[in-house]
A and B are shown apart, each in its own frame.
Chain A
Amino acid sequence: MPLPIPPILSYALRRLFQAVPVVILIMIGTFLLLKLAPGDTVDALVGDMGGADAAFIERLRIEYGLDQPVWVQLWRYMSKLAMFDFGWSFVYEQPVSRILMDRLGTTLLLMATSLSVAFTIGIFLGAIAARRAYSTTDNLISTLGLIFYATPSFFLSLMMILLFSVKLGWLPVGGIKTITGFYTGWDHVVDVARHLIMPTAALSLIYLSFYLRLMRASVLEVAELDYVRTARAKGAGESRLMVHHIMRNALLPVVTLLGLQFSTVLGGSVVVETIFTLPGLGQLAYQSVIQRDMNTLMGIIFLCSIIVVVVNFLTDLLYARLDSRIKLT
């Protein structure tokens, strides 16, 4: 008798199976795009060295396999990737996988804090704005949202650094921890948190404004629905209506957006990490592009596409948890 597979597991396996071709296509596409761009690793290396003779450049190209036709390079890269071998970074003189692992934690931390902040505060403010629709509170919150939405994160970052670090000296300018501090335990956590405040604020405000606006609209819509009227007719008060009947239904579209936006947050982290010199994937990606560090760049993209696929899967699970009408099949 075959073992019964729990539906959630078979669902997860199927999603994984569907994700494979997606990731492969992303990798091939990126590889070819990067090859279309002028310049390669050797050009960057030689540039750093201040120039070299043609024979040396030729030898480097042969050594790195860059003399081969593009499709041969692609095949070699993809077959190594299939074994999770990301190759060697000629810039960092390390295996790419090690660099990625060093940087991944910081980026995930930044994204997790930014999205949680944006999501929690966004839906909270959105719900308040909707319940007090067209009042002064609503106008204030909506205007605030508009300002957040219209402020570019790099500008906000620089202004915050100017105010909180340079003028007031409250927060560190950049980095993820105080290098000379050698903190451990709770002190370490506090130190990292202090370093994360400004980057998180810079990255989350724009998303906060998205969630705020969507939640406001969603709550206003749900509040008009028949079952809310039914609950009123049962004698339920406003706070009960909000908690039990409106919030959960109103959250559904916001959760969808959360999953979709994860990838754009990843993109946004490039700017923020670079400004705050956070040792994360975003900053690494920026440097790899400048230095034509193809292997590292490809590794980052691979990792990011996996993260996006996983997050979308988790969003679907969350969605099914929130909406009783959806069954994972």
Chain B
Amino acid sequence: MTEFALKIENLKIALPEGSDRPFALEGLDLEVRRGEVVCLVGESGSGKSLTAGAIMRLLPEPHVHVAGGAISVQGEDILAKSETEMKAMRGERVSMIFQEPMTALNPQKTVGWQIDEVLRLHTKLTRTERRARVIEMLERVHIPDPPSAYNAYPHQVSGGQRQRVMIAMALCLSPGLIIADEPTTALDVTTQLQILKLIRDLQEQEGAGVLFITHDFGVVAEIADHVVVLSQGKMVETGTAQQVLNAPQHPYTQALIASVPSLTPSPPKSFDNAPVVLKGTGLNKTFAAQGGFLSGRRKSVTAVDDLTFELRKGETLGVVGESGSGKTTVSRIVTRLLEADSGAVELDGTDLLACNPRQLREMRKHIQMVFQDPMASLNPRKRVVDLIAQGPIVHGVSREKAHAQARDLLALVELSPSAANRFPHEFSGGQRQRIGIARALALRPKVIVADEPVSALDVSVQAQVLRLLADLRDQMDLSLLFVTHDLRVAAQLCDRIIVMQKGEIVETGKTAEVFADPRHPYTRNLLSSIPGRHWTPPKLEAIAI
């Protein structure tokens, strides 16, 4: 038996004619030994997911196809195999764990059925033997009560458990090679850590080789033995995890690592003497769960429970927590995009929640939002200049003046003036988020509420947008309410943080103090789950990519 679970030599993947580059991947060399985890790292568009597709021979052929090189899985030349031979290999000798466990599992089949399918396809076990094996697998991935999980549908189990099901499915036949394509990106930080541990443990038990695809250097620090860095389809650096993480050689890797937000918060500034700009008191919001008009069986969910906070002038207040903690609801209540059940939100002394529609419209000038997904939150049929000028025009500024201001704002967010007459789809994700920020600034607000503004962005772009936000905040003396699930981001930008769990504040304080000495067990758990928390990115000159 060969010691290599996977060996890729000089792999080339061609893109269809008319793409931005002829090859998605050019000259990739990669080796995964048995019992080793190799991380394939790169930003979006680097060709890392296509590499996985090529190994499984599941590329969307003929548009995207392997144009050269060799791939061997456990000593066998994959590219020479027929489709029938490949079917026999997939699932048995090489298996995959996908990113989004909700969409990667068939919603109409039970969890047990879907794991069982692997056994049905590749073994001659009887029904009872298969069932026993599936339940054993569910136990191994630590799913509580395997027999009842066997009969559950994917929507009936939590996100983390769904990913465990995917892992059980992938490991069912003890394949020699496991490809994990961003398996933890869609998960909360505490769940992420558990899943990473699980993959690591099982891989050690089985002695399989793992090709782990990720964009997150924290995750790399957590799990990798070897690292391969891809940029625009080209392999720029490879080495042991130690080497790449602590002494990166290539400028691109250096820039990527320099962009990883440090976990050490900057020294606290004091805002005690600054006036309070935004103050929430006793905010409550309960959602009635979906239910029919006459069903009478509605279960309500408390999204925000008696929330009170203060935001001072020039200050950044972070709202952190896992999904379902109510942080997005807070951002919507504060901007009155969602009506609270009770409580008050005072903006410069005026209660926003008590305003009538006309007063509210006037008040909206002072509090603006930046949204998570800049593609979805910008009207695709409007030019950038119109998008930015719309707010001021609504509030009575003349068209010419508003347009002139919009062009100035573009310069402020470091976009070229020529951007004004283009449409949102002509920009990259980071540029679109800059447009989103310019749009929010157009009304000269006092407060900006930002809901996960960088979570959809690549790490290098994320760093630039965060820097821009911080600069603008300081220049314009803005107050920022910053909602995020990413504690690294919070550490970089926020002066104070609120930690939320199930709609309640469990801890609040200066960021540096909370990070140094978390008091609530939930905060402690969150902080100890940050991937790569033991790794301090080396101090490198930040180089623009």
Bound together, the chains give a CA A274 to CA B387 distance in angstroms of 58
Residues of B within 8 A of A230 (CB): 96, 98, 104-106, 166, 169
Instruction: Tell me if A245 and B90 are in contact (CB < 8 A).
Output: no
In the complex, residue of chain A having the shortest beta-carbon distance to the beta carbon of B169: A234
The CA-CA distance from A236 to B84 in the complex, in Å, is 10
Partner of A233, one of B91, B103, B294, B297: B91
Bound Cα distance A322, B107 (Å)? 11
Q: How many residues of chain A have a CB within 8 Å of chain B?
A: 25
Q: Once bound together, how far apart are the Cα atoms of A329 and B122, in whole Å?
A: 40
With both beta carbons as reference points, the residue of chain B lying nearest to A251 in the complex is identified as B108
Q: State whether the Cβ of A289 lies closer than 8 Å to any Cβ in chain B.
A: no
With A227-B105, A229-B58, A324-B107 given, is the CB distance from A234 to B121 under 8 Å? yes
Taken together as a complex, chains A and B put the C-alpha atoms of A231 and B297 apart, in Å, by: 36
Selected from A231, A235, A323, A325, the residue in CB contact (under 8 A) with B89 is: A235
The answer to whether B121 touches A324 (Cβ under 8 A) is no
Contacts of A325 in B (CB 8 A): 107, 153, 155
Q: Inside 8 A of B105's CB, which chain A residues have their CB?
A: 227, 230
Query: Would you list which residues of chain B between 76 and 98 have a CB under 8 Å from chain A?
Result: 87-92, 95-96, 98
How many chain B residues touch A (Cβ–Cβ < 8 Å)? 32
- B117 within 8 Å of A by Cβ? yes
| Residue-wise interface mask of A (171-205) relative to B, using a CB-CB cutoff of 8 A (1 in contact, 0 not) | 00000000000000000000000000000000000
B230 touches A (CB below 8 Å):
no
**Shortest CB–CB separation between residue B61 and chain A, in angstroms?**
13
Interface residues of A in 1-60 (CB under 8 A from B): 14, 17-18
Closest beta carbon of chain B to A19's beta carbon, Å: 13
- Cα A324 to Cα B153 in complex, Å, equals 7
Interface residue from A232, A235, A248 paired with B108 (Cβ < 8 Å)? A248
| Given A249-B108, A325-B155, residue A235 in contact with residue B122 (CB < 8 A) | yes
Closest A residue to B58 by beta carbon equals: A232
Whole-angstrom CA separation of A85 from B282 in the bound complex: 61
Residues in B with CB closer than 8 Å to A245 are 106, 109
Q: Whose C-beta in chain B lies nearest to the C-beta of A18?
A: B294
Cβ of A132 within 8 Å of any chain B Cβ, yes or no, is no
Q: Which of A233-270 contact B (CB under 8 A)?
A: 233-237, 240, 244-245, 248-249
Say how far A158's CB is from chain B's closest CB, in angstroms: 44
* B295 at interface, CB cutoff 8 A: yes
Asked if B291 is at the interface of the complex by the 8 Å CB criterion, the answer is yes
A187 vs B100: C-alpha distance when bound (angstroms): 59
Q: Tell whether, in the assembled complex, residue A234 and residue B90 are in contact, meaning their CB atoms are under 8 Å apart.
A: yes
Pair B107/A236 contact, Cβ less than 8 Å: no
- Nearest chain A CB to B137's CB is how many angstroms away? 14
Which of A230, A234, A245: most chain B CB closer than 10 A?
A234
Q: At the interface, yes or no: B463 with Cβ under 8 Å from chain A? A: no
Q: Is the C-beta of B56 less than 8 angstroms from some C-beta in chain A?
A: yes
> How far apart are the CA atoms of A329 and B108 in the complex, in Å?
19
The reply to whether A237 and B108 contact each other, CB–CB distance below 8 Å, is: no
Contacting pair B107 A235 (CB below 8 A)? no
Asked whether any CB of chain A lies closer than 8 Å to the CB of B396, the reply is no
- A-facing residues in B477-508 (Cβ within 8 Å): none
B118 within 8 A of A: yes
Q: Please tell me if A93 contacts chain B, counting CB pairs below 8 Å.
A: no
Write the nearest CB–CB distance from A253 to chain B, whole angstroms. 14
Residues of B within 8 A of A323 (CB): 107-108
Least CB distance, B313 to chain A, in whole angstroms: 46
Contacts of B96 in A (CB 8 A): 230, 233
- Residues of A with C-beta under 8 A to B58: 229, 232-233
Query: Across the interface, do A234 and B118 meet the contact criterion of CB distance under 8 Å?
Result: yes
Hey, which bits of chain A sit against chain B, CB under 8 A?
14, 17-18, 225-227, 229-237, 240, 244-245, 248-249, 322-325, 329
Can you list 11 A-B contacts with CB-CB less than 8 angstroms, sorted by A residue number? A17-B294, A230-B169, A233-B56, A233-B90, A233-B91, A233-B96, A235-B87, A248-B108, A249-B108, A324-B153, A329-B292
- For the complex of A and B, 6 pairs with smallest distance between CB atoms: A235-B91, A234-B91, A235-B90, A226-B103, A227-B106, A329-B295
Partner-A contacts on B (CB < 8 A): 56, 58, 87-92, 95-96, 98, 100, 103-109, 117-118, 121-122, 153, 155, 166, 169, 291-292, 294-295, 297
Q: Give 4 A-B pairs besides A14-B292, A14-B294 with Cβ atoms closer than 8 angstroms.
A: A17-B294, A225-B103, A230-B169, A236-B117
